Amino acid sequence: SAKGDGKAKSHVFHAQMDIDYHYKQRLKADLRLAIQEGGLTLAFQPLLDVATRKVVACEALARWNHPELGMIAPSVFIPLAEETGLISDITAWVIAEAISQCRSWPGEVGVAVNVSTRDFRGMDVEKVVDAALSAAGLPPTRLEIEVTETALIEEPEIAKSVLEALAAKGVEIALDDFGTGYSSLSYLSALPFSKLKIDRSFVQDIEANERSLRLLTNVASLGRDLDLTVVAEGVETSGQFDLLLAKTQIQQVQGYLFSRPLPARDIPELIVHLNHDTVIPPKRYKM
């Protein structure tokens, strides 16, 4: 009967919820251990300047290789860390580790770190940044802090004062994943952003869809109009890159076309390789 089916379905539904619940509880406990025992690592992915063809910075991306379950994606463990408050420990570690790695990179290559929604109330971001920079002897201008719009909606006042203090020291503040989430253009003028990272969903089908390309072009020129450094995230193909060069004024690019995120030990060599090899042929540049 229909009634019986409903009951069976609801039973299955609840069983699945129990599995999800227990799985999440286990991951949260394991994540706590991983943080304590050095089980997290960082991968770094370069951002390249379109005009100079050089690596300008590398973004630190947290990685968790679970001893039994293998790699757990940040899209899974970062939200869990936010729910439990463990995120402050992760962020503090990422900031210190990323800044320490940056010291061994050639030239003036900077480092970008993602700061999460909960960090603005869960920790003193400014203090952690100051301590990490002075421990490494790295100037604040080598650091970029990436925040998403969600962080700003949830903690607008704290976020604003922390970001302003950091920007005043010369830390670059980037609005990450721009165009996703609850975009409010008012953030762009209310907060001290100097960089706009256009989410990769805008780049994804510019080769196939003329309207997507025009949307991207317009978002990029909005950013340029506000004197922001505009970055395209998630550039995967040379076709996408060609269109970016031909149709937009985007200044920086990041994506699998140039490099996947790589372990810290590979980064000095990667920077040298990208800077010296004509990974991006000069003729493709609109100077």
Q: Which does 73 bind (CB under 5 to 8 A by kind): Mg ion, ligand C2E, none?
A: ligand C2E
Within a 10 A sphere around the Cβ of 204, how many other Cβ atoms? 16
- Residue list 223-252, contact with ligand C2E (CB under 6 A): 234-236
Which residue, 175 or 225, has its beta carbon nearer to ligand C2E?
Answer: 175
Contacting range for Mg ion; rule: CB under 5 A; set: 106-114, 181-189, 210-218, 241-249: 106-114
Backbone angles phi, psi at 285, to 5 degrees: -90, 135
Say whether residue 89 binds Mg ion (CB under 5 A): no
Say whether residue 172 binds Mg ion (CB under 5 A): yes
Say whether residue 74 binds ligand C2E (CB under 6 A): yes
For residues 271 and 256, what is the distance between their CA atoms, to the nearest angstrom? 15
Q: Least distance from C-beta 259 to ligand C2E, angstroms?
A: 9
Say whether residue 176 binds ligand C2E (CB under 6 A): yes
Decide if 26 contacts 49 (C-beta within 8 A): no
Decide the pairing of beta strands 70-72 and 110-114: unpaired
Contacting range for ligand C2E; rule: CB under 6 A; set: 4-12, 71-79, 153-161, 275-283: 71-79
First to last CA, the chain: 71
Continuous H helices in 103-202: 119-122, 125-136, 149-154, 156-169, 186-190
User: Can you tell me which residue has the tokens 């165009």?
Assistant: 179
Q: Which does 110 bind (CB under 5 to 8 A by kind): ligand C2E, Mg ion, none?
A: Mg ion
Handedness of CA 226, 228, 234, 240 (dihedral sign): positive
Residue among 30, 82, 146, 149 that touches Mg ion (CB under 5 A): 146
Contacting range for ligand C2E; rule: CB under 6 A; set: 17-25, 70-78, 100-108, 205-213: 70-78
Q: Least distance from C-beta 61 to ligand C2E, angstroms?
A: 4
Compute how many residues bind ligand C2E; rule: CB under 6 A. 21
Structure tokens of 27?
């991951």
* Upper half-sphere CA count for residue 85 (Cβ side, 13 Å): 3
Contacting range for ligand C2E; rule: CB under 6 A; set: 13-21, 69-77, 184-192, 243-251: 69-77
DSSP state of 76: H
Structure tokens of 178?
């721009």
For residues 3 and 18, what is the distance between their CA atoms, to the nearest angstrom? 23
Say whether residue 62 binds ligand C2E (CB under 6 A): yes
Using CB under 6 A as the criterion, which residues of the chain lie in contact with ligand C2E when the complex forms? 45, 61-62, 73-75, 78, 94, 114, 116, 146, 176-177, 200, 234-236, 254-256, 261
